[in-house]
Amino acid sequence: MRMGMERSLAMRQAACAVLAACLIGLLLTVLELGWATWRERGKAAALVEQMLDLVEGSAATAAWNADDGLAAQIGASALSIDAISGIEIGMSPTEPLWARFRTDAGWSDSNPGTSQPGALGALVFGDLALGERLLYRPLPNGRAEPAIGILRIHLDMRRISADYIAFVLSALLGGMARNLLLGLALTLVFHRFLTKPLLALEQAVEQIAPDNHDKKARLTAPAGHEHDELGRLSGRINEMLDRLDCSQQMLRQLATRDSLTDLPNRALLNERLDHALARAGRVQRGVAVLFMDLDRFKHVNDSLGHELGDRLLQAVAQRLRHTLRQSDTVGRLGGDEFLIIVEDVSDPKEVIQVADRVLTALARPLDLDGHQLQPSASIGISLWPEDGADGRQILRCADTAMYAAKAAGSGCWRMFSAEMTGRAMARLATEARLRAAEIRHEFELFYQPTVDPADLSLRGAEALLRWRREDGYVSPADFIHVAEETGLINPIGEWVLMEACRQAALWRQVQGDFTMAVNVSPRQLADAAFPDKVQRALSESGLPPALLTLEITETVAMNQAAGDFIMLRRLRDLGVGIAMDDFGTGYSSLSHLRRIPLTALKIDRGFISTVPGDVAIAATVLDLAQRLGLETVAEGVENEAQRQWLQHQGCPLMQGYLVSRPVPADIFSRHFLQGVPLASSG
């Protein structure tokens, strides 16, 4: 590029300077020649006139007296003058000439006295070649008499022409040399004051790498040009570079930072991870990646609004920043997912400490506009080089481990292990099959009776979901969590609700008052339209609301922010019952329990299985439920001793294998409504 510029600017400028100088010089030379020609012509004409004046008197005397001697004298003195080539004197203007003198041999009568000039000489001086004057008697007073002769002077045209051509040539050559010198001088001046500093400036510009962010390279004006146009030009370029730097920084910020939390975004995190792995390879240390996902974030967003959701994310980002070392990287992958990159790992224990520190820091209560939140997260950990060769693999492993942490409950971390990949693959396969199952209507409801322990009279049923496959029925324990994670639980749950209500309304006609219990997942509760769906199921089936009980799990109820009780209250307002399922397995706080709009408690099977040996918890829960005015259902009653104890304690309802396993609707209907003995159970 430099050569190109040199060629184009310096050479073109030199060519232009020389051409301009030559053209101007040529014009001047032509003018000079014109003027010199005019001057030479004047000189020649004057010479002829002078000679005529000088010789006129003596020539008249010689002609009058026919004095040959005098004529010869006149001829000799005239020819002694260089520019005169001939002189002629005649006795009368008309008669042939009498005395003729010449300097060259070519003079003849037909070519009287004029030596042949060159073409140029003839062109310029041709009309001046001959001067003529009539001669009169040499009287002192005037020339009244007729002429007595004629005088002719011939100029030496060859000589004058040769002189003239030599002059023209020297003028042209001199002019040319002068013009060339002038052009050269101009080129040198241009080069020194323009091209050279421009080239220096161009070289300096070339030194500035625009993507070099560490070094703030700037132009210096070429020496001696600090205060002229070039100095100002480099100043302007520097200003532009400053502005370019600023906008580049802004663009980089936009492209690499998460606008909500100002943490590095996914693109920058990937870049940093690659960088960290490359460096770790050189220094022989490990790198850990912590994939963190907030627990129940969607719920906060849905119930408290996106603005508070955003503020929760910002608060989490701030806590993460304060908890981690300067050398660790923390960024937001999107949504409620964060990524932490820990470098220089020599022992996995260090990473576990980081995960614990993060979880503890997050768990501190947070007040957002009067809403008390207790953020928690699940963290999946993967290590380089143990779990994968590159950043992509490491990230995938951490993601898988995060799912394992989620499955283990909120606020946990899990290290990646190879089996997890197997589980993740199985999970993906289940998800795909679940979607197909929904389309192919492979879901079915089984019903388990709820009875009075005293007389085993039927009081209701719990609808339990089954997935009908070629190889038999699949229990919800094996697929419900996948349906939850993928959101498939919403359409499936809606169908369960409709079907259970429809069935309950049918059986009610036979059985009279009959309560149908339906399990509801946390994800369904997070759906603001859920009460409308319940309402629709009731009105379409014609089932009175009081005969429907929604079962929620303890953990769901406890983890709900205050806003969620609003959802439960809306459901209560519809007139449906709300039972807390598996009571005693979660972390219910008793103070919370008072505030949740419940109608029933279901004592978890785990506490019933120890009865009648260990009754402490079962008895306490029964007592608690009674004091809170809640109905109690004992789950998982498997033997007669348990039933008797429950009867003795005054527990109003129970369900369990003692009475029946969950069974298909037709079997339930035949056995429990029509009294046909139970042959088999599901």
Taking CB under 6 A as the criterion, the residue among 662, 663, 671, 672 binding ligand C2E is: 662
Closer CB to ligand C2E, 362 or 464, in the complex: 464
Closer CB to ligand C2E, 101 or 446, in the complex: 446
Among the residue ranges 20-28, 87-95, 372-380, 515-523, the one whose residues contact ligand C2E (CB under 6 A): 515-523
Among the residue ranges 199-207, 340-348, 525-533, 651-659, the one whose residues contact ligand C2E (CB under 6 A): 651-659
Closer CB to ligand C2E, 479 or 514, in the complex: 479
Closer CB to Mg ion, 60 or 603, in the complex: 603
> Is residue 642 a contact point for ligand C2E (CB under 6 A)?
no
- For residue 96, the SS3 value is coil
Least distance (Å) from Mg ion to the CB of residue 633?
9
- Cα(78)–Cα(95) distance, integer angstroms: 23
Among the residue ranges 24-32, 273-281, 369-377, 516-524, the one whose residues contact ligand C2E (CB under 6 A): 516-524
Among the residue ranges 112-120, 143-151, 236-244, 656-664, the one whose residues contact ligand C2E (CB under 6 A): 656-664
Among the residue ranges 18-26, 145-153, 519-527, 610-618, the one whose residues contact ligand C2E (CB under 6 A): 519-527
Which listed option, Mg ion, ligand C2E, none, makes contact with residue 387 (CB within 5 to 8 Å by class)? Answer: none
Closer CB to Mg ion, 564 or 581, in the complex: 581
Least distance (Å) from ligand C2E to the CB of residue 528?
18
Residues 607-636 that bind ligand C2E (CB under 6 A): 636
Least distance (Å) from Mg ion to the CB of residue 444?
17
Closer CB to ligand C2E, 13 or 486, in the complex: 486
Reading the block at residue 458, the tokens are 């039927």
Binding site for Mg ion (CB under 5 A): 519, 551, 581-582, 635
Residues 521-560 that bind ligand C2E (CB under 6 A): 521, 551
Q: What residues contact 669, with CB distance under 8 A and at least 6 apart?
A: 507, 510
Please work out the total of residues on this chain that contact ligand C2E, with binding judged by CB under 6 A. 22
Cβ neighbours around 47 below 10 Å, total: 19
**Burial (Cβ within 10 Å: 0-12, 13-18, ≥19) of residue 582:** buried
> Is residue 493 a contact point for ligand C2E (CB under 6 A)?
yes
> Is residue 430 a contact point for ligand C2E (CB under 6 A)?
no
Which listed option, ligand C2E, Mg ion, none, makes contact with residue 464 (CB within 5 to 8 Å by class)? Answer: ligand C2E
Closer CB to ligand C2E, 520 or 600, in the complex: 520
**Block residue for tokens 């505030």:** 595
Torsion sign (Cα): 655, 660, 665, 669: negative
**Burial (Cβ within 10 Å: 0-12, 13-18, ≥19) of residue 436:** exposed
Beta bridge partners of 89: 99, 151
- Give backbone dihedrals phi and psi of 134, rounded to 5 degrees, phi first: -75, 150
Least distance (Å) from Mg ion to the CB of residue 252?
54
Taking CB under 6 A as the criterion, the residue among 519, 541, 642, 669 binding ligand C2E is: 519
- Cα(415)–Cα(523) distance, integer angstroms: 27
H helices of 364-445, in order, are 391-407, 418-439
Which listed option, Mg ion, ligand C2E, none, makes contact with residue 477 (CB within 5 to 8 Å by class)? Answer: ligand C2E
To the nearest 10°, report the CA torsion of 307, 313, 318, 321.
Answer: -160
- Give backbone dihedrals phi and psi of 637, rounded to 5 degrees, phi first: -80, 120
For residues 192-209, one letter each, b for 16 or more C-beta atoms within 10 angstroms of the residue's C-beta and e for the rest, the string is: eeebebbbbbeebeeeee
> Is residue 586 a contact point for ligand C2E (CB under 6 A)?
no
Residues 495-514 that bind ligand C2E (CB under 6 A): 496
- The crossing angle, in degrees rounded to 10, of helices 12-65 and 157-190 is 160
C-alpha distances (whole Å) from 100 to each of 26, 27, 72, 141, 413 are 45, 45, 9, 29, 138
Least distance (Å) from ligand C2E to the CB of residue 349?
37
Among the residue ranges 228-236, 247-255, 310-318, 655-663, the one whose residues contact ligand C2E (CB under 6 A): 655-663
Least distance (Å) from ligand C2E to the CB of residue 635?
6
Check: CB of residue 238 under 8 Å from CB of residue 204: no
Check: CB of residue 154 under 8 Å from CB of residue 86: yes
Which listed option, Mg ion, ligand C2E, none, makes contact with residue 493 (CB within 5 to 8 Å by class)? Answer: ligand C2E
- Cα(339)–Cα(317) distance, integer angstroms: 11
Closer CB to ligand C2E, 515 or 521, in the complex: 521
Closer CB to ligand C2E, 167 or 495, in the complex: 495
Least distance (Å) from ligand C2E to the CB of residue 402?
23
Least distance (Å) from ligand C2E to the CB of residue 400?
24
Least distance (Å) from ligand C2E to the CB of residue 531?
16
Q: What residues contact 136, with CB distance under 8 A and at least 6 apart?
A: 60, 143, 145, 147, 148
Least distance (Å) from ligand C2E to the CB of residue 522?
9
To the nearest 10°, report the CA torsion of 537, 543, 544, 550.
Answer: -60
- Cα(630)–Cα(572) distance, integer angstroms: 14
Task: Tell me the chain's radius of gyration from C-alpha atoms.
Answer: 60
Closer CB to Mg ion, 256 or 585, in the complex: 585
Spatial CA neighbour of 528 closest among 564, 484, 572: 564
Least distance (Å) from ligand C2E to the CB of residue 585?
10
- Cα(624)–Cα(603) distance, integer angstroms: 11
> Is residue 167 a contact point for ligand C2E (CB under 6 A)?
no
Closer CB to Mg ion, 156 or 581, in the complex: 581
Residues in the chain: 682
Least distance (Å) from ligand C2E to the CB of residue 633?
10
Check: CB of residue 263 under 8 Å from CB of residue 324: no
x/- map, 453-482, ligand C2E, by CB under 6 A: -----------xx---------xxx--x--
To the nearest 10°, report the CA torsion of 586, 589, 595, 601.
Answer: 40
Binding residues for ligand C2E, rule: CB under 6 A, are: 448, 464-465, 475-477, 480, 493, 496, 519-521, 551, 581-582, 605, 636, 638, 655-657, 662
